[in-house]
Every structure is written in C-alpha cells, then in structure tokens.
Structure 1
Amino acid sequence: MNVVRITCLATVLALAACASTAERRQFEQEQLAIYSKHAGEPVDRIRSFRLISWQPAGDLNLLLEARLNEWYWLEVDGPCMELPYAQAIGVKTSMNTLQARFDSILVEGQPCRIRTIRPIDYKAARAELRELRESRQ
C-alpha cells in the first residue's frame, strides 16, 4: 500500500512541476514580447558605457542600465547557459564603448558575445509586466 501511495504522490508532484514549468515558460515568452514591444531599433554601440544595473531576461537576453535611467535590451549568442541564474556578470568592452557583434557579457567567466543592442523604455516595460503579474493573481 505504501508503494502505491508513494507512486501516486510522485506522479502528482511531477504533474505539478510540469504545470509550473509550462506556466513559467509562458510568462517568460510574454515577458520577452513585452520587452520587444518597448525596445527601439538596434544600435551598433553604447558610447561612454558604464554598467550601473542589470537583470536577466531569459537564456539569451538581458537588460542593462548603461547610464542613470538609460536601459538597453541585449541579445547574446548562445549558449549562455548560466545567464538566468547569474549573481554577477562582467562586461568585455572596447574603450568604454559596448559594441554589438564585438564585445561580450561574461557569465561565470564564459563570454557570451552580444548579438544586438536595443534601447528600451524600461519604465513602460516594467509597468506592463507588473500589470501582467497582477492579472494572474
């Protein structure tokens, strides 16, 4: 009888994990769509770059605050496996300029080359994400 209970419990937990994983992936896709909606056209570089803040946005994207309240959405070449879980990142730049296709984000010492850089209306994107989270509660 205990084996049946344990098997049933394991099955229920596995199904719950699948559901939460599917929900998390759906939210990540919606999050990326919101960032894309609020991002401008790609730029080749960020001059006078200084990393103030950052946050991951999936496996291949992150947001960087390059100057006070000036945010950019970066897409990096894969694989950049540890990006969603990184506690810190480094940036390999060229003379205080961050360049797409040449410079890299360093995650756990591994370089992830920057594919694109797009300015983003960070405040508008965060407000829309907050509304999305509240609608799900």
Structure 2
Amino acid sequence: MYRRASWMVVALAAALGACSSVPYAQRVAQRQAAYAAAAGAPVRSFHFFNLYSWEPLGDSQLAVYTQPNRAWLLDVGPCPNLEFANAIGLTSFGGEVSVNFDKVLAGRGYAPCFISGIRPVDVAKLKLEQQAQRKIEAEPRQPSAAAPPADH
C-alpha cells in the first residue's frame, strides 16, 4: 500500500510539473512587471523589525514583506544565489534598511549583495495586477467541418 501511494505521489508531481505552460523566465518577467507597476518612487530606507516573507525576482531584484500588507521592492546585485536560496537575511542599523549601505544575505558562503534601490510596493495594487494576469480570455471552439458525425 505504501509503495503504491508513493508512486501515485510521484506521478501526480510529475503531471503537475508538466502542466506549467509558462516557462520560468517568462513567469519571473511577469512577476517583475507586476511588482514594478505596483512600486512607488524610490526611498532611501525603510523600517525593518521582522521579515514576514520574501520573493526573488531574478538575481538582481526581490520583494521583501515586513507585514502581510507591507512590501518593498529591492534592487540588488547581481546576487547569484538569490533565486535558489531557502532563506535570506537583511542587514540593518537601528531598525533601518538603507540604500547603498545594507545588504541581502542569500546563503552561507555567498557574498552579501548590496541594496542599490528600495521602492515601496502598493500591495493592494499588486494583488489587482496579479488577478488581471490570471484572467483567461476564453473563446468557444468552432465546430470542425472536417469531422464526420459519429454514428452509433
């Protein structure tokens, strides 16, 4: 029973992986565009007490959430391990992360990546942008003239 269940899990994972119709580079480009559209004017720093979550956007940009509804778009880089890191850290001084001073730490053994730009992200606008990207323009299929009707 255990072996059968594990094969089903492997088969399901393979099927789901094959279902991805958008290549990785295109998904990253879409995410970068969505964050850029929702990002405000550059700022010099932001208050940092807690890293709620983060999302890599290639090797030179990432989104950092300090709260569920508070995000920052950081330009770094290049930061070679950023896309593959399981966890990151941010340096700060007195609870402030600053441009050209603080760094993203993207894994043990990798050089820290200096933060060269910070922009606040309008999370509500980002969610609207993401919903717009998920919309599918569906059109009904036209009946095929080449296929004869099925006889039973």
Decide: shared fold, TM above 0.5: yes
Give CA-to-partner distance per residue, 1:91-116, whole Å, 9 cap, x none: 11112110011000100133111111
Partner of 1:127: 128
Task: Work out the CA distance in 1 between the residues paired with 2:136 and 2:99.
Answer: 36
Name the amino acid aligned to 2:98.
Q
C-alpha displacement of 1:38: 0.7
Partner of 1:13: none
Structure with the larger strand share: 1
C-alpha displacement of 1:136: 8.3
* Larger gyration radius, structure 1 or structure 2: 2
* Structure 1 segments of 4+ aligned residues over 3 angstroms from their partners: none
Distance 1:47 1:127, change over 3 A: same
Q: Retained in 2: the 8 A contact 1:49–1:67?
A: no
**TM-score, L = length of structure 2:** 0.66
Which range moves more in the overlay, 102-111 or 42-51? 42-51
C-alpha displacement of 1:48: 4.6
SS in 2 for 1:128: helix
Give CA-to-partner distance per residue, 1:20-63, whole Å, 9 cap, x none: 8x833233222212211110001000125432221112221111
**What percent identity do the matched residue pairs reach?**
32
Partner of 1:44: 44
Task: Work out the CA distance in 2 between the residues paired with 1:46 and 1:57.
Answer: 20
C-alpha displacement of 1:117: 0.7
Task: Work out the CA distance in 2 between the residues paired with 1:61 and 1:136.
Answer: 30
The count of residues paired between Structure 1 and Structure 2 equals 117
Which range moves more in the overlay, 51-60 or 125-134? 125-134
Partner of 1:97: 96
Structure with the larger helix share: 1
Task: Work out the CA distance in 2 between the residues paired with 1:85 and 1:57.
Answer: 11
Name the amino acid aligned to 1:64.
V
Unmatched segments (≥5 aa) in structure 1 = 1-19
Q: CA RMSD in A?
A: 2.4
Name the amino acid aligned to 2:60.
L
Distance 1:126 1:82, change over 3 A: farther
**TM-score, L = length of structure 1:** 0.73
SS in 2 for 1:129: helix
Partner of 1:115: 116
Unmatched segments (≥5 aa) in structure 2 = 1-19, 139-152
Task: Work out the CA distance in 1 between the residues paired with 2:70 and 2:33.
Answer: 20
